[in-house]
Chain A
Amino acid sequence: MENTTILKEIWDNGEMPVLAFLRKKERGGPAYHNRAADALYPSGRTDFWNCFVYEEEAEALRQAIWDSQERTAPLFCHIQDMVYSAVLFEQGDFCVCMLQDVSAYYEENQRIMDEAVMANQAKTNFLSEISHDIRTPMNAIIGMTEIAMMQNDVPRRVQDCLDKIKTASDHMMSLLNEVLDMSRIESGKVVLQPEQIDLADLLHEILIVVKAQADGAQVAFHLEIGRMERENVWADGVRLKQICLNLLSNSVKFTPKGGTVGMFWEVVRDADPELVQLYVRVWDTGMGMSEEFLKRIFMPFEREQNTTISKIQGTGLGMTITKNLTEMMGGRIEVQSRQGEGTCFEIWIPLKAGAEYEDARKTVLQGRRVLLLDGEAGRGKNHMELLKGLGMTADWARSAEQALDFIDEAVFDVQEYFAFLTVEKVEGVEVVLFLQDIRKRFGNRLPILLLSESDWTQIEYLFTSAGVDAFVPMPLFTNRLLAELYMLTEEGKQERADQESREEYDFSGRKILLVEDNEINREIAQELLGMYGMDIETAENGEEAVAYFEGTQPFSLDLILMDVQMPVMNGLDATRKIRSLARSDARSVPIVAMTANAFMEDIQRSLDAGMDGHLSKPLDMDQMRGCLKRFLGGKSE
């Protein structure tokens, strides 16, 4: 016999399934298969590719046969209850596929893998739980140390020990937080919670932290802001801050004294009009990384091995967390570094755009005069440009004395300022005391805005006591400054006060009859009702109310508010009378009692008389709103 015939004989009768596919033919079934391969077909199936348990395995095999796709991993095929490993080789126009039964090997491997996954899961859970449990007593150690440090007359030696305990425990706490965070990410417990955030606030919060860190490490910090196409975006602010802070803290940590850490921040439009791209670059003049370590930097627990770095504390988790979070947001991160020359991280994150600038607000501020107190030349110049960009007229005082000159002149010219903007530190003056004097002199006539890089919650008490009305975080962003300044205008105040009313309680065009014998009560009720833009008619007793109602067109009155105790005719009798009139709206016009008497039986009596509800006196805004909404049904048509 010829060799090929012998080979065919062996294949035909062999125990291993062998199939041959014609490569010229477009992805069809096998042109040849041996007897052992017959067993692959379950009853009723004729298409080889339908015999696979997993379609993705069939597709992988097809790609290997027809696309000659190279694979390094074995090709596993689940067919019926068996697992085969496919071995392919070319034979003329054919691709021969031998399927080796590896079920036992595969199952064993699977078991080992399952165990490994479970062990990894157990590790993650263990880390998560242990970190959480250790954190509680660590809180106590840190807290108690701080209390001890605050005591007077602590011996120097003890103070020294306390400082060290504080440093060590702060470090341990940050390690625990990272381990906990990582395990939470690994176990899928971290879910992003996007909300509309103001990037000005976010950046401000980042700067508060990083500036303190840089100062502590004696490293210069440089911030540069590029285009800000949108300041309001939808993002998980907490996690976004974490990403930036991880990068910045890392740079500060690995930059020696006297070095520089910088951040560039930009928001540009995306091809998708609903999105913007946040681009952040964090760079430093630090020690940099080896090429080999750069490949592993985003892997958990990886740290560069050299003598300098091993003295710097860390878990090696920070960068892994940063990468994971960036990718969870749909973004990407890249790093460039050379040993001894510093490092540069770049991130790109697509974010859903928030609201646009509000031109209407800008219009309100046009031409308004403000005074800025800022002793720092470069920053002051930027602030002036921003204010002018809002269409405002601004004077710039470099010192407190100059500010007083401007203020006096404005008073003499009877052109007082709309607002006074100041930074928190100005050379030669204690700003808090200066503001107290300003507040005493002008009362509420001159709103004061504080522009600050500090954490507002820490200085709020001090500065609000000194008379500050509002706070704007630095670096200044247009949107945020615009919003705060607008809120100082009459329009802004009105908007804030009426926001809810305008949205839900617009009753303009509605007509209401107010029946009340007491003149002052009438005035108060009119004042409250007037806010909702409705027409108000009044009557001084029940008899007048009935007469008024009779004189109106049916359905022209939307509501009657009726005092109960009145001379001539009380509210209950008046209601009965109105309900008994022979006109189409006599029974339907809503009548609401206004009385301080809220006894259940008296309320029942007013309902029995035909009233529809009850308003407690003294009337208040909330109650009135609720009543109008109930009986006038929200917005008027």
Chain B
Amino acid sequence: MRQYQETYIQNLKKIAALAELSGDIPLDVDRFLAERKKKQEEIDRLRYENTELLRQYLMPVLDNIISADEAEVNELAEFALQLAPGVKQLDLVLTYDIHNALIAYARKWELRDMLIRELYLCGMSLYYMQNFMARAGKRLYSVKIRMLFGEAASWLPHYDEIADPQTRGYIHRSMANLTLGDGWESEENGRRKIRAMRRSLQVLTDPVYQEKTPSLPWDTFIYKSHQSRMTAIDFMRRGFGDQDLVREIMESAEYVRERQLKDSQNRGIEPDMRWTVEYEAVLYHCGIRTLPELLLGLEKFYMKRNPLDYSQDGIWQNIYLPGLYAEYLSFEEDFRIKKKEVLGHMYRMVVRYVRNAPNNQLNAQLLHTLIAILESFQEYPDGISQKDFLLNLVACRNPDSYAFQYMTGMVSGILMEEAVRKMPEAFVGVLGCASREQVQQSVGELTAFARESGMLHDIGAILFSDMVTLAGRSFMKEERIMYAHHVYAGRLMLSRCDSTRPYAMTALGHHRYYDEKGGYPEDYVRSDNPNQAVTDLVSIAVYLTSYVSEREKMQNSVLSLAQAVVYAQRDGGKRFHPEFVKLLPGVLNRLSDCFTDGKRKAYQKALSLLRREEI
């Protein structure tokens, strides 16, 4: 690798270390903020250095990749590999860009082996990028992923002409990954996935290929393919299963189970609980176990957990398993009610487990597993609500994001009080208020609603926080597009439960312009939002908080409150509600107080929530 490439990777690792928040919960907020500021300044310096390195050395090469010399190209390929060591991704979008450039090079100079390798690696990078998007329920790159793997796999008929075993391996892997980017959501996609898996397994188990390239890890290929085929239970969950599929899934499940048992016997350990649970789920979906049997099985697995185990497995057993249990409860209302006490207990244990986490309250895996549990969260009238769970247990685990939302909530509350006072008619219809008078009488509830809307508006961003905190350089266009999907993630998360559903449209629409001619997402339609006036208020609060509290430092300059208010008023009728921006001068002092010590208060609140015993 070239010097700039090595420096770039070292800087990425330094940034990751500086951004890491795990450790004891800090007691002194001022010290915490001072340390964070110092670290952030160092992160900013490293990011700047990295951006300049790429701008100066990499971009010119990518600009003219076709005429790059062989040594340069080889170093580039090595650089891309180092940027994505195994499943760990240091710089996803850059890795993709480099592989993409190398494909153009290989194609132009007809370097077949290199082309096949780069198609595969590029497909994998894109797949990881798509995984980010999947958090928002979106699959932006499916077609492209299929095209990349498809092109690599289409070299199969020329297998004999290819001497390099590694290249042959890339062909097999590409074939196995052909539909990796597709989900099980639609019948068409699902059937396509199953066909592709079937064909790939046919080739992998074909003795002719195994004899031709004995050095390839055939066992691993076949094992992974069976693991992958087990995921087809997602397809069955959607009611698309048939006889052939059941047989194939069962075959794969038995294969994986046998291998797991053999491995665990050889190593003298218990079989991996995750695959054992998956096996049980397969039995249920294939009609061998009943739902009560599966639930009982899951309960037994849950009871085997160690509540003091904070390893990867421990987090899975203590947090993920209750989420899975809740998902199966949602299959039948009857069981959802019958098992209320069991699930309630599990949720309480999750809270206790998270609260007692030693030294890793801010562990990223803990946070992501907590978010995963929300995908199937079940609310009961007298149980824990998703709103409380989110506000008091989850959001605070990312203090930066929490502080931003907290401040946005405060600003939204101030704006709401003022708006109800001066223009109550704007809120007729919100929270069931039928008249100006009712709006005025409900000022307390409306203010609390606005505050909570502000507190939850950016909850989707928590899923994309790695993109921001671990970013080792300036954002690129693709990253901006990816990050913009946090609004969909927020809507998805909030729309699942009764307690959070009223906030979902604000999560979706807070970056969309009032006149619907700018901002994002384009499919947010203001008139579809029953609480559009609240979203309009939160949009202004988001804008002010972003610019005044230095949140947007990475892409924008920081403004004074007065400047921000002037700009907001200038954008009235276009980006913001024309009447609401007129309220800003009237609350300037209150906003100023909020911004003066609001950030400190917000962090203090986040840290105190991390320390609390109950929610």
Contact = CB atoms under 8 A, between A and B. Distances in A.
Interface string B217-258: 000000000000000000000000111001101110010000
B476 A599 contact: yes
Interface in B49-70: 51, 54-55, 58-60, 62-67
B43 to A, nearest CB: 17
A337 interface: no
Greatest chain B CB density within 10 A among A144, A147, A596 is at A596
Determine the main DSSP class of B at the interface with A.
Answer: helix
B555 A147 contact: no
A596 B287 contact: no
A599 B474 contact: yes
A595 B60 CA distance: 9
Contacts of A146: 247
A498 B55 CA distance: 37
Contact of B287 (A140, A460, A617): A140
A139 B65 contact: no
A565 B61 CA distance: 11
Interface string A506-543: 00000000000011110010000000000000000000
A564 B156 CA distance: 40
A4 interface: no
Interface string A580-598: 0000000000000001111
Nearest to B479: A600
B477 A614 contact: yes
Contact of A600 (B100, B156, B476): B476
A461 B65 contact: no
A51 interface: no
B477 A617 contact: no
Interface in A112-138: 135-138
Contacts, number: 120
A598 B478 contact: yes
A519 to B, nearest CB: 8
Interface in B75-107: 97, 100-101, 103-104
A173 B250 contact: no
A554 interface: no
B66 A595 contact: no
A546 to B, nearest CB: 21
Contacts of A330: none
B474 A601 contact: yes
A617 B60 CA distance: 10
B287 A136 contact: yes
Contact of A602 (B55, B157, B243, B251): B55
Contacts of B555: 600-601
Contact of B66 (A524, A597, A620): A524
A138 B475 contact: no
B480 interface: yes
Contacts of B66: 518, 520-521, 524, 618
A128 to B, nearest CB: 13
Interface string A129-167: 000000111111111101100000000000000000000
Interface string A262-286: 0000000000000000000000000
Interface in B439-461: none
Interface string B24-47: 000000000000000000000000
Nearest to B147: A622
Nearest to A146: B247
A519 B59 CA distance: 17
Contacts of B242: 139
A345 B555 CA distance: 74
Interface string A598-637: 1111110000000000101110101000000000000000
B65 A599 contact: no
B342 interface: no
28 contacts: A135-B287, A139-B242, A139-B246, A139-B287, A140-B286, A143-B250, A144-B288, A147-B247, A147-B251, A461-B203, A465-B156, A467-B157, A519-B67, A520-B108, A524-B104, A563-B63, A565-B60, A596-B58, A597-B54, A597-B59, A597-B62, A599-B54, A600-B474, A601-B474, A603-B477, A617-B101, A618-B101, A618-B104
Interface of B: 51, 54-55, 58-60, 62-67, 97, 100-101, 103-104, 108, 144, 156-157, 195, 199, 202-203, 241-243, 246-247, 249-251, 254, 285-288, 473-478, 480, 555
Given A136-B286, A599-B475, A600-B474, 18 more contacts: A141-B287, A146-B247, A147-B250, A147-B251, A457-B195, A467-B157, A518-B67, A519-B67, A520-B67, A520-B108, A596-B58, A596-B59, A596-B97, A596-B101, A597-B63, A616-B97, A618-B66, A618-B100
